[in-house]
Amino acid sequence: MKAFTLAVVLVLMAVSAFAADVDGKWAGTVSTPNGDFPQSFTFKADGAMLNGSMAGLDGKDVAIKDGKVDGNNISFTVTLDFGGMAILLSYKGVVDKEQIKLTGDFMGMPFDLVVKKSS
């Protein structure tokens, strides 16, 4: 029984060691009825916490908030300032070796986005 317990613990440790590498710069495009909008992110994982930023429409970095990493899954929010009006964007995604498939929510309207590692 001890050998089985040890095996289970080792497997669980190995699975957590295979968490996706989200660190770095990622870029993609969101398609909307008003045209395509480029989006880029910089991520840095610190254990289960995700830090980083998104390039805002004005080109300035906007800090991500409430960032979480759970294996290959990430989630975070970004608050944009539209002429003094705060707009919350929330994102959830699955990290793969070369891309992140994100689902976002903009004022109750969902959208999909794929970002790829950039240099």
Which range is least confidently modeled, 4-8, 40-44, 72-76? 4-8
Distance CA 83, CA 106 (A): 16
Q: By percentage, how much of the chain surpasses pLDDT 70?
A: 82
Residue 83: phi and psi, rounded to 5, are 55, 45
Q: pLDDT class for 8, splitting at 50, 70, 90?
A: very low
95 token code pair: 């990290």
**Within the chain, what is the greatest distance between any pair of CA atoms?**
64
Decide which of 3.30.70.3400, 3.30.499.10, 1.20.1260.10, 2.40.128.120 is the CATH code for 20-118: 2.40.128.120
Cα 13 to Cα 40, 48, 74, distances in angstroms? 32, 15, 19
Confidence of residue 116 (pLDDT cuts 50, 70, 90): very high
CA dihedral 81, 36, 111, 24 (to 10 degrees): -70
